[in-house]
């Protein structure tokens, strides 16, 4: 303990034959790793803010904006929606869901088109998303998205696809 507190950094010189080898030994600060199943919102927001600041320094201001488009029935019940964000000239579709009773009625393409149009207004040139094999990746491909990656057996017996599109 005393040695750890007293010496943060030391220089060790070893002489072996005609060679002089210098090793720098760095003492690690005493940190602990904490795992949280239900993290505090302010702590997760802190981590996200720090990453955004780092990313902005490296890649420029991303003009991050959230995007949410909702589908409601006549009684104003939420029956579908798309949640995502726009930044660095990209639209990211994070969550896209339509109640099963409304699927196949053209609402999906209407929501996706609305998101893409809004993204273009915000200066986006591209869109990307991920979906699973049981969530109809063909829907996205039918509407101009191209698969650029796949994780097999995620979950077991299925695949997770990563798709992108050049926006018009």
pLDDT, tens digit (0-9, with 9 covering 90-100), for 2-23: 344 333 333 333 444 444 455 5
The 10 Å Cβ neighbour count of residue 92 is 20
Task: Report the alpha-carbon distance of residue 155 to residue 39 in Å, rounded.
Answer: 25
Euclidean distance between CA atoms 168 and 163, whole angstroms: 16
What pLDDT is recorded for position 27? 72
Beta bridge partners of 149: 162
Name the more confident of 118 and 2. Answer: 118
pLDDT of residue 22: 52
Tens of pLDDT, residues 122-166: 999 999 999 999 999 999 999 999 999 999 999 999 999 999 999
pLDDT band at 25 (very low <50, low <70, confident <90, very high): low
- Which comes out higher in pLDDT, residue 104 or 20? 104
Segment 41-66, tens digit of pLDDT: 999 999 999 998 999 999 998 889 99
Distance of CA 50 to the CA centre of its chain: 15
Q: Which domains does the chain have, with CATH numbers?
A: 60-166 (3.40.630.30)
């Amino acid at each position: 303990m005393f040695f750890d507190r007293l010496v943060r950094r030391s220089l060790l010189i070893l002489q072996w034959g005609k060679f002089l080898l210098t090793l720098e030994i760095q003492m690690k600060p005493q940190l602990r790793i904490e795992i949280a199943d239900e993290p505090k919102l302010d702590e997760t927001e802190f981590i996200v803010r720090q990453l955004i600041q780092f990313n902005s320094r490296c890649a420029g201001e991303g003009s991050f904006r959230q995007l949410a488009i909702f589908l409601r029935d006549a009684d104003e019940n939420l029956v579908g929606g798309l949640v995502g964000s726009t930044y660095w000239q990209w639209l990211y579709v994070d969550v896209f869901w339509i109640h099963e009773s409304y699927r196949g009625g053209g609402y999906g393409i209407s929501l996706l088109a609305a998101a893409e149009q809004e993204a273009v207004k915000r200066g986006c040139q591209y869109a990307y998303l991920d979906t699973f094999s049981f969530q109809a990746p063909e829907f996205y491909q039918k509407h101009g998205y191209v698969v650029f990656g796949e994780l097999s057996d995620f979950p077991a017996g299925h695949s997770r696809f990563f798709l992108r599109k050049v926006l018009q």
